[in-house]
Amino acid sequence: MNTQIKEKELKGNKIGGLVLIWVIALYAVSIPLVGVGAAIDLPIISVLAVIWLCAGWIFLLGLKVLKPNEALVLTLFGKYKGTLKGDGFFYVNPFCTSFNPAAGTHLGQSGDIVSKSEATTVATAGTSVRVAESYSKKISLKVMTLSNSKQKVNDVLGNPVEVAVAVMWRVSDTAMAVFNVDNFKEYLSLQCDTAVRNVVKLYPYDVTDNVDTTGDGEADDGSLRGSTELVAKRIKEEIQSKVTEAGLEIVDARITYLAYAPEIAAAMLQRQQAAAVVDARKLIVDGAVGMVELALERLSEKNTVELDEERKAAMVSNLLVVLCGNHDAQPVVNSGNLY
């Protein structure tokens, strides 16, 4: 049965300074005691002094220094002992070891950059970078920003779009992050990619008729381009539901890049241009019809001229051609009889 390990914070361990002074003082006393024991014919004193000089450094292994918003998960012979949190100079059991399986994994994010000294033995794989054993086992509790690379996803209509998301996250439970998943950084990166695909495929790129994006059975006007905030919120909730068991908290999520895939970008641009032309023509025609109706009403009210149905039809045709045409009309002066 798999039981989740909860975080246990170690208290009262900020005595690193006292222990360091104590060890240095004992070393200072042991050096002359080696000769004193031989001089007063008490070899036991010399033996104890030599033993301390040879093994006293072991106590220095228990000294730990932490900066603000840093934590250290400690194990003793494979058993979880607790977590050091907060800034200060700590002392723990010198046989305790720091454990952080994600220490050598560097993602494309803030606060997680490979230094030049570490970059000598770097092997790049996907979005993560593994470094040699020259890294710190400390866990950062700061809010970090993970920017995964662009990925191609099909929207609800099957159109391929490219999406990139920036996720702000932090470690909320160090024990769960270290022990419940194999590598919490890689786990987060994978869940981000999965959440983006699961959410993006529910939306069209642009507003489309007869598409239900909320799951209530009714069509709505949701879209990737027009409902960015809503889409980002759903991505955040999707990621959070997957990484809670890893002791991670998703602070926020934002879409940083959104576009049609290159193979259909040109076709979609032509489609948008055609839709814009149709909408513009519709507006022009509606305005022209209104102007013709107004002209006929004015002529009829003031009895300026009497027109039969045939002449009205010709007049309407001429006015619509003039008002809806792309070019300026050429004036024609009719000096003859109307009939």
Report how far apart, in Å, the C-alpha atoms of 286 and of each of 79, 267, 293, 339 are. Answer: 78, 29, 11, 31
Residue with tokens 């419940």: 180
Q: Where are the domains of the chain?
A: 16-98, 105-260, 267-324
As a whole number of angstroms, the distance between CA 53 and CA 47 comes to 10
Q: What is the DSSP letter of 156?
A: T
Q: Which of 168, 116, 119 is nearest to 147 (CA)?
A: 168
pLDDT given for residue 40 in this prediction: 73
Contact 201, 163 (CB under 8 A): no
234-279 residue pLDDT tens: 999 999 999 999 999 999 999 998 888 877 656 667 666 666 777 7
pLDDT given for residue 132 in this prediction: 38
pLDDT given for residue 290 in this prediction: 81
As a whole number of angstroms, the distance between CA 130 and CA 143 comes to 21
The whole-model pTM stands at 0.70
As a whole number of angstroms, the distance between CA 149 and CA 164 comes to 6
Report how far apart, in Å, the C-alpha atoms of 336 and of each of 317, 329, 332, 333 are. Answer: 20, 21, 12, 9
Token code pair at residue 14 = 């900020």
**pLDDT values of the chain reduced to their tens digit, one per residue, 339 residues:** 456 788 898 888 888 899 999 999 988 888 888 777 667 767 788 888 888 889 889 999 999 999 999 999 999 998 999 999 988 999 999 999 999 988 878 776 655 544 444 444 444 434 444 443 446 789 999 999 998 788 888 888 888 889 999 999 999 999 999 999 989 999 999 999 999 999 998 888 887 777 777 777 777 778 888 888 999 999 999 999 999 999 999 999 999 988 888 776 566 676 666 667 777 778 877 777 787 777 777 777 767 666 667 766 777 776 667 667 666 666 665 555 555
Q: For the CA atoms of 122, 123, 127, 131, what is the dihedral angle to 10 degrees? A: -40
Q: What CATH superfamily classification does 105-260 receive? A: Band 7 domain (3.30.479.30)
As a whole number of angstroms, the distance between CA 258 and CA 150 comes to 9
pLDDT given for residue 323 in this prediction: 65
* Cβ contacts of 256 within 8 Å, gap of 6 or more: 147, 164, 165, 166
* Residue 329, number of CB atoms within 10 A of its CB: 11
* Residue 255, number of CB atoms within 10 A of its CB: 18
As a whole number of angstroms, the distance between CA 123 and CA 121 comes to 7
**Element spanning 297, H or E:** helix 262-301
**Cα-only R_g, the chain:** 38
* Cβ contacts of 174 within 8 Å, gap of 6 or more: 7, 71, 73, 83, 85, 139, 141, 247
Q: Which of 110, 177, 178, 101 is nearest to 144 (CA)?
A: 110
Three-state helix/strand/coil letters over 52-89: HHHHHHHHHHHEEEECCCEEEEEEECCEEEEEEECCEE
